[in-house]
Amino acid sequence: GDSVTQMEGPVTLSEEAFLTINCTYTATGYPSLFWYVQYPGEGLQLLLKATKADDKGSNKGFEATYRKETTSFHLEKGSVQVSDSAVYFCALELNSGYSTLTFGKGTMLLVSP
Amino acid sequence: EPEVTQTPSHQVTQMGQEVILRCVPISNHLYFYWYRQILGQKVEFLVSFYNNEISEKSEIFDDQFSVERPDGSNFTLKIRSTKLEDSAMYFCASRYGEGVDTQYFGPGTRLTVL
């Protein structure tokens, strides 16, 4: 079945460090790919998305490129801030019918000053 | 900005009791979802709801679970007889249309079954 695998956390970085959170997927069709973020005490918020191969999603300095050849959608940010501390979820959605999201386990990011 | 709300934020119950988790989706949205996340595990799809009926459900969503949209604004998840393994964070989500339209999530209800 469809699945998403993310790197284990927590990821601990100092402010202004470069961030990569790896995400790979397995899907039978041609999914859309998403990164959601969950700040402490809040719900899941869409961070960025890409709907087809080679698309790049970006938001708030975060980027991820849909790589069909490696079935990956790694999240990157050039310079993290303390306020980026949160749990990041990679997810896929097949573009058919009442599409539902398939999530990874989530990766906690902790950024220290 | 409109948002999905959920109540309560934390529910503690005894095994075998019924619980109802409540969600208020964004007002013009048409598709509604429940997901859950057991501590340390993945966020898992439970059920989707459209046009006043279940459109899809996972294997987790057995006869102990039911959903309802009783009054056009609330969307509820009922667990008839809770088990210890039902302890999890339950997320409600809604979207306006199907396809790649974004799902908006609520903050979740943490259910603890003792």
What one-character-per-residue DSSP string does A87-111 give? EEEEEEEESSSS--EEE---EEEEE
Query: Does the beta-carbon distance from A45 to B105 stay under 8 Å?
Result: yes
Query: Does the beta-carbon distance from A46 to B43 stay under 8 Å?
Result: no
pLDDT (mean) for B11-30 = 95
Quick one: pLDDT at residue A99?
72
For the ranges A32-41, B62-71, B98-107, the lowest mean pLDDT is seen at B98-107
Ramachandran assignment for B63, one of left (phi > 0), alpha (psi -120 to 50 degrees), beta (any other): alpha
Exposed / middle / buried, residue A27 (Cβ in 10 Å: 0-12, 13-18, 19+): middle
Q: What is the pLDDT of residues A78-97, one digit of tens each?
A: 999 999 999 999 999 876 65
Q: What is the pLDDT of residues B43-82, one digit of tens each?
A: 899 999 999 999 999 999 999 999 999 888 899 999 999 9
Contact B97, B42 (CB under 8 A): no
For the ranges A12-26, A58-72, B25-39, B89-103, the lowest mean pLDDT is seen at B89-103
Quick one: pLDDT at residue A8?
84
Between CA B32 and CA B46 the distance in angstroms is 11
Query: Does the beta-carbon distance from A43 to B100 stay under 8 Å?
Result: no
Query: Does the beta-carbon distance from A43 to B99 stay under 8 Å?
Result: no
Interface residues of chain B, partner chain A, Cβ below 8 Å: 3-4, 6, 31, 33, 35, 40-45, 48, 50, 55-56, 91, 93, 98-100, 102-108
